[in-house]
Copies of this chain bind each other. A is one copy, B any other.
Amino acid sequence: MKKSIKPNTLAMPTPVWCVGSYDKDDKPNVMTIAWGGICCSVPPMITVSLRKATYTYGSIMERGAYTVSIPSAEYVTEADFFGIATGKNSDKFAVTGLTPVRSDVVDAPYVEEFPLVFECKVVETFELGLHTQFVGEILGIKADESVLNEKGMPVMDKVNPFVFTPATREYVGMGKTVGQGFKVGKKFMK
């Protein structure tokens, strides 16, 4: 018998992804989001949800593009700052010492120090309520060679991402592999 909890955004885990954009003056900005995910395989798309009040919202509306830079756990302090500060009156790259790099694929900057980057062009904008959902087609991916395996694919324990728990506001790192997808479940196949 389960206990009922008042509806709220308590689903877990959520990603910790840093959304890069240029403002109208071409200043690079980056904000951390936990409301987002992959939303389509063909074409490959990533969605991120932002409040209209954020500085990034206006930039993405104007530029029609954003990047998603995935921070390693060693950058949890910077990533948290990117989520609590606003680009309206601060240069988050300058404050943290991290490096904005202009994407050669979309009109947005990414974070050089973060190992895995998705370059997205906005294809849909959905007004849902407090949050606006941007759907971006992935037009490019950039990765540090150090996080790739022999097949050129990014490996979890090298990227070393972390997740967020909305209920307790904790950032949690990755643990051990618990199974191989599309394989362990075959135990139940007749």
Contacts and interface: CB of A to CB of B under 8 A. Distances in A.
Interface of A: 2-15, 17, 34-47, 49, 51, 68, 70, 73, 76-85, 95-96, 112, 116-118, 124, 126, 128-131, 133, 135, 137-145, 148-149, 152-156, 159, 161-189
Nearest to A166: B38
A178 B3 CA distance: 29
A141 to B, nearest CB: 4
Within the oligomer, what is the number of copies of this chain?
A: 2
16 contacts: A8-B141, A9-B38, A12-B154, A14-B15, A36-B39, A78-B185, A80-B183, A84-B185, A126-B126, A169-B180, A171-B179, A172-B175, A172-B176, A173-B177, A175-B175, A175-B176
A68 B12 CA distance: 11
